Chains A and B, each alone.
Chain A
Amino acid sequence: MTIYPTIDGYVSRNAESTWADAHETLTGDQASSNITFSNVGIRASLAPPGRGGGYYVSRCFFSFNTTGVTHVPKAGRLYIYGRTNGNINVVHTVKATSDIESAITTADFDSIQDWDPRGDFTGAATYYGTNTGGWSTGGYNTIILRQNALLDIAGQDRLNICLLAQRDIDNTGGSFPPPGSTDYNGLYFEDSTGTSRNPYLDITQQDDAVFFGANF
């Protein structure tokens, strides 16, 4: 079963003079859910001093209607079509809150379930899965969803996902600011023309139960 998002987009915080101001803040500077792609949608970077300098964070959000899935699937994969690869090879998916379901605004910068911006990789959010094999451009990146995501697919009407950079989620005590200016990845959203680059969820349902009965 293929499910396309009902809404997707990004929220970013830009040109901050400190990592904490960029990463630990509650709201973003820009947001859009009516965009075909972003070159810097997933981002945790430090641009050099001068024009455009400072810390940047960008997170992407996706909401999928999963009401048609009533049993825990056998497997689930999130497919994201890459556009640019700055220097982030590891992208994480975490559970987003229901705040993103109707619109994605600057207020959704922290719409991440159990979000702790000073937490470590496993303690900062509800972890759904990670891409493997780097971030490809001009093709789909596959993120295999973990069991807790599969349970949410079956148990909730929607699966809400946030994509964010490794450096954005693994930040114990706020002590791991990004070192480079090119730490960002680009991707396509649902509003891109056609479906060939749209993000989507691929659900493999459990085989139908077979009852081997007998006449009694």
Chain B
Amino acid sequence: MAFKDNTLTFSDNQIWDPVCSMEVMMNWEAPIMEKSAEFICHNSGDILEIGFGMGICSDYIQAQGVNSHTIIEIHPQILERLNTWAIGKSNVTVIEGDWNSVSGLGTYDGIFFDTFMDENYDNFKDFALARIKSGGKITYWNNFEKEDNPYAFDSVSYEQVSVIPEDNYYTKIQSNYYMPKVEI
């Protein structure tokens, strides 16, 4: 069963996927989301965010005062929350569907890739390189407490972000997040 078909439960501090028996996102990630937003919003330009989740990163991106903020979301329950969140935000464009097949995308100064149980991951590198502007910056969720380049970008550097994770089942991050930084 695909993630988009799973019925999620939402609470103040997390999204839970009962089919996968694990959290989708938790609010202890806020420092990671803040740093990721700062990185991709380097010139306050056009930003593509893939995966809305709890909207933590989206808030930080908005706080950067970017020119445009495009968000792709596939899960219907999260999409409903995203649409509510987007009300009144004139620089936000919501695109429903799978990032791997949606239309209507442009080119961007920053891209944040943060999906859950995503089987199309092999396509992300080509997808991102086709849509990032010269001088643009890309980051992605790194589930391990170490340097990890699963999408095979030619060059990735890492910045450590201190975190205090709550108990969870979806990541082995203990105290340091290795934020991947792809700079075009």
Contacts and interface: CB of A to CB of B under 8 A. Distances in A.
Nearest to B143: A53
Size bracket of the A interface: 20 to 34
Nearest to A43: B21
Contact of B22 (A16, A52, A84): A52
B153 interface: no
Interface in B14-35: 18-22, 24-25
A15 B173 CA distance: 10
A15 B21 contact: no
Contacts of B81: none
Contacts, number: 76
Interface in B105-164: 113-119, 121, 140-141, 143-144, 146, 148, 150-151
A17 B36 CA distance: 22
Contact of A50 (B20, B21, B113, B146): B113
B46 to A, nearest CB: 23
A47 to B, nearest CB: 6
B67 interface: no
Main secondary structure of the interface of A (DSSP, over half): strand
A14 B121 contact: no
A40 interface: yes
Contact of A48 (B24, B118, B172): B118
Interface in A23-81: 29-30, 38-40, 47-54
Given A30-B169, A54-B143, A39 B118 contact: no
Contacts of A47: 117
A54 to B, nearest CB: 6
B18 A39 contact: yes
Contact of B114 (A12, A14, A51): A51
Contact of B169 (A29, A49, A84, A181): A29
B56 to A, nearest CB: 13
A105 to B, nearest CB: 15
A50 B170 contact: no
A84 B21 CA distance: 12
Contacts of B170: 14-15, 51-52
Contacts of A16: 172
B83 interface: no
Interface of A: 12, 14-17, 29-30, 38-40, 47-54, 84, 181-182
- Would you list the 8 A-B pairs with minimal beta carbon distance, nearest first? A49-B150, A52-B170, A51-B116, A17-B144, A53-B143, A48-B121, A51-B141, A14-B169
25 contacts: A12-B169, A14-B172, A15-B169, A17-B146, A17-B172, A30-B169, A38-B21, A39-B19, A39-B21, A40-B21, A48-B119, A49-B148, A50-B115, A50-B121, A50-B140, A51-B51, A51-B116, A51-B143, A51-B171, A52-B116, A52-B117, A52-B170, A53-B150, A54-B144, A54-B172
Given A16-B172, A39-B21, A54-B144, 4 more contacts: A15-B170, A49-B143, A49-B150, A52-B20
